[in-house]
Structure 1
């Protein structure tokens, strides 16, 4: 019974790492978490990063076709298969070229749209900049007018003291007309 109670103590396994329990991921997020945990257990270990797969390109069409098949009788039964493979390869090449042309058209349309959006944004920015400058000028003019009014009032206050004295003197000298001339 003593041997039965010691499960993990096997001869030759002293000081070894504890066995990790088998965890089956249920979601892709859990799977990714487990992979990251496994990578982070040994940070010094180099992580293999696969290179980007090269894009498939069809074989270029032959420059010179040596075995031209004619429509005359006498062609062997194997010639049809050769013809079929050549035709399939050519169709693949045509499809590839069509897809590449479509991708280039989409890229060109995208670049044109970006340029158009950039110009529109620049126009809006210029319009807003102009509006800001006008507002800035108005504020500056209002500030100057306010300052001038303040200066005039101060001048008027200081001159009103002297003008009051002059008015008193003029009242003594002549009568003030009671009507405005030139108006009917």
Structure 2
């Protein structure tokens, strides 16, 4: 079957909808590519738990709808290939992966939302690249990931600033922003 290259979102109540076709970023294996950044806890705290939960739920629901539609059309299970640009937010990422009795409001909100997403959407990530990690944090994050159970520790790739060769094995540069060695404008992603 032919794989769709674009999807046009239907009407969505709220701030997330803008009209027009959007290219679906795909990995070499056909999974949906999602590019994001490491958490910024102070901004999560400013937004508030309910608003943050609603935005995360809306994003995950839309992503799931796209993955389901692509799975049905292709006859193959389509999951998510995440690329998280850590870029000087390593301490937040380390905090988010381990228990922290001294966590402030934003970090607590992030973890609570993460637990909710994990319960609602337990198996949507095929592979997760964490890129631009500083050398002092790469080992700490790898240790935290090695303590994860099940498949999680095998699907998470911890990469320093020389990540492009490893990432490009799974994701064609045409599907990535310039800052990740791709060809798409950074401002759009």
Same fold (TM over 0.5): no
**Higher helix residue share:** 1
**Higher RCO by CA contacts (8 Å cutoff, separation 6 or greater):** 2
**How would you bin the TM-score normalised by the shorter chain?**
under 0.3
Q: When the two structures are superposed, what TM-score results if normalisation uses the length of structure 1?
A: 0.18
More strand by share: 2
- For the pair shown, which has the larger CA radius of gyration, 1 or 2? 1
